[in-house]
Structure 1
Amino acid sequence: MAKLSFRQVEAFRAVMIAGTTTGAAEMLYISQPAVSRLLGDFEDSVKVPLFERQKKRLVPTPEAQILFDEIERSFIGIEKLARTAEELRAFNRGTLRIACMPALAHEFVPRISQEFMELNQGISMTLQVRGSEQVANWISTQHFDIGLSASGVLDPAIKTEPLARSKLVCILPPGHRLKNKACIEPHDLEDEIFISLGTEQSVRYKVDDVFEQAGVNRKMLLDTQVSHIACTYVLAGSGVSLVDPVTAISFIKQGLVVKPFTHFVPFNYNLTYPAARPVSQLALDFSKLLKTRIKELSDNSNNLFKLA
């Protein structure tokens, strides 16, 4: 195998994360042709097929995913070392690193983070937004201090505790025919254009099962991996959806109609911490503030959001 360079590996990692050479170029602050050249050199070096070219996107092969997983572990170690050195230079350990699922990252966690920094002058915070699976991976490798995720992961490297137990709510565009109905039932959405959460999310299958059991047909024309994008589609009049309540409530001020849904589709918010080390006082204090604010949100939500 030809000799690999760090720059080739870096370009491959960026393409895997961004999905396109253009996005990778923006991440690395280099030109798109430079990324393509580095990626080509990397493929020549490893001598296994890494991508299938489909239109403008690069679809990773299983071999590419295996390489990426191995590279990601190495990068996490390098980034952790660099961060520790930076903290030593600044004589500052007042840093809180949070990995958060998109459902809480749209408005809720940024708002709480600002409040927390005002209460704790001089600290710094990092917020990275990823899916629940990646959040769990980062917590298990001690890359972050706190994780916020939807799924409970059985991993001895992770400590998990519930932040809130809730259920999905129905969201409608302004002026929708059901806007005055107190509670939405599955048959109310017969033949509606329905914006689904993508198949990568387990809650998608729970929602589909509710409508299948009720014998209700929906027009399945749109899906997205992120609940706040579903809210944006609905707000624009593209259809209706079921999403988590914290995200939905943050869109009410923009005119989104949010209603309880009769069938219970659970959606849980979990706090996770690395199990291999004690939880820092900063992390404990931030978690306490999160619990207080999410309870207040539940109490003030006019029965849209009930904590279990």
Structure 2
Amino acid sequence: MRAGSTKRAAAALGISQAGRAELGISRLPLDPSLFEWAPLGSARNVCIFHPDHRFSKRTCIEAHDLAGETIVDIDPQFAAHQMNFNALRFAGVEPDILVEFDCNGHEAGYVSAGLGISITNEIIAREYAAFHLGIKPVEPSALYHYVAIWQKDRAFSSALNVSLEAIIVAFSKQPPARGC
């Protein structure tokens, strides 16, 4: 199991074992010996930026476009950081990181203040609608597969079935992952 999936599995298992949650939302890969899941959707990388940024005139952001940009990014311990910056370095671009944070959501405030741009995925970026940020696809992009998860062999009550169905419906109303 990869380091990122181990952390997600440990966090999700801790929640399930402690009884604080019956269902969760996570990304694959997960350990099938610990969890069962139902697919929710996929997401590709997007760049978020202040609406006045030069990227607002582009249809797609490519790695070379990020040269010289100040970047707000999630901590290097997260797989998303490694994927994003490996792609930049492969394209010959060394990232100029202004701020690193340890939890999704923090980048929206920094970006809306005009302190830099950030790369996240479409599902997370949808949560920032109130910030009125610019959002454009990024290439190269990772593809993230989101799932509803529960502890393996958990017996489902009718309330859990209704909850799972509601989560699946909510994700199904989102547009599919798209690239440039």
Give TM-score, length-normalised by structure 2: 0.84
Among 123, 127, 133, which residue is 1:246 paired with?
123
The percentage of aligned residue pairs carrying the same residue is 20
User: 1:171·1:243 contact (CA, 8 Å) conserved in 2?
Assistant: yes
Tell me the CA shift for residue 279 of structure 1. 2.1
Among 51, 66, 78, which residue is 1:174 paired with?
51
Tell me the CA shift for residue 152 of structure 1. 2.7
SS in 2 for 1:166: strand
Tell me the CA shift for residue 244 of structure 1. 2.0
SS in 1 for 2:139: coil
Partner of residue 67, structure 2: 190
Partner of residue 139, structure 2: 262
Tell me the CA shift for residue 291 of structure 1. 1.7
Among 144, 164, 167, which residue is 1:287 paired with?
164
List, as ranges, runs of 4+ consecutive aligned residues in structure 1 with deviation greater than 4 Å. none
Within 2, Cα distance between the matches of 1:241 and 1:134? Answer: 25
Compare relative contact order (CA 8 Å, sep 6+) and give the higher one, 1 or 2.
2
User: 1:249·1:258 contact (CA, 8 Å) conserved in 2?
Assistant: no
Does 1:271 find its partner at 2:148? yes
In the comparison of the two structures, how many residue pairs are matched?
Answer: 170
Within 1, Cα distance between the matches of 2:149 and 2:60? Answer: 33
SS in 1 for 2:15: helix
Within 1, Cα distance between the matches of 2:55 and 2:66? Answer: 9
Partner of residue 56, structure 1: none
Partner of residue 50, structure 1: none
Within 2, Cα distance between the matches of 1:231 and 1:153? Answer: 27
Larger Rg: 1
SS in 2 for 1:170: strand
> Could you give the per-residue CA deviations for residues 32-81 of structure 1, whole angstroms, max 9, x where no partner exists?
xxxxxxxxxxxxxxxxxxxxxxxxxxxxxxxxxxxxxxxxxxxxxxxxxx
Within 1, Cα distance between the matches of 2:51 and 2:115? Answer: 11
SS in 2 for 1:264: coil
Within 2, Cα distance between the matches of 1:177 and 1:146? Answer: 41
Partner of residue 220, structure 1: 97
User: 1:227·1:244 contact (CA, 8 Å) conserved in 2?
Assistant: no
SS in 1 for 2:116: coil
Tell me the CA shift for residue 281 of structure 1. 2.1
Mapping 1:130-149, distance limit 5 Å = 132=8, 133-139=10-16, 141=17, 143=19, 144-149=21-26
Does 1:150 find its partner at 2:150? no
Within 2, Cα distance between the matches of 1:233 and 1:151? Answer: 28
Consecutive unaligned residues of structure 2, counting only runs of 5 or more, are 1-6
Q: CA RMSD in A?
A: 2.0
Cα distance change, pair 136–238 in 1 and its aligned pair in 2 (3 A): farther
Within 1, Cα distance between the matches of 2:18 and 2:155? Answer: 11
Structure number with higher helix proportion: 1
Within 1, Cα distance between the matches of 2:115 and 2:157? Answer: 44
Partner of residue 3, structure 2: none
SS in 2 for 1:178: helix
Consecutive unaligned residues of structure 1, counting only runs of 5 or more, are 1-130, 300-304
Mapping 1:115-134, distance limit 5 Å = 132=8, 133-134=10-11
Partner of residue 83, structure 2: 206
Within 1, Cα distance between the matches of 2:14 and 2:30? Answer: 10
Cα distance change, pair 199–218 in 1 and its aligned pair in 2 (3 A): closer
Partner of residue 160, structure 1: 37
Within 1, Cα distance between the matches of 2:38 and 2:45? Answer: 20
Within 2, Cα distance between the matches of 1:142 and 1:276? Answer: 16
Among 221, 228, 232, which residue is 2:109 paired with?
232
SS in 1 for 2:155: coil
Structure number with higher strand proportion: 2
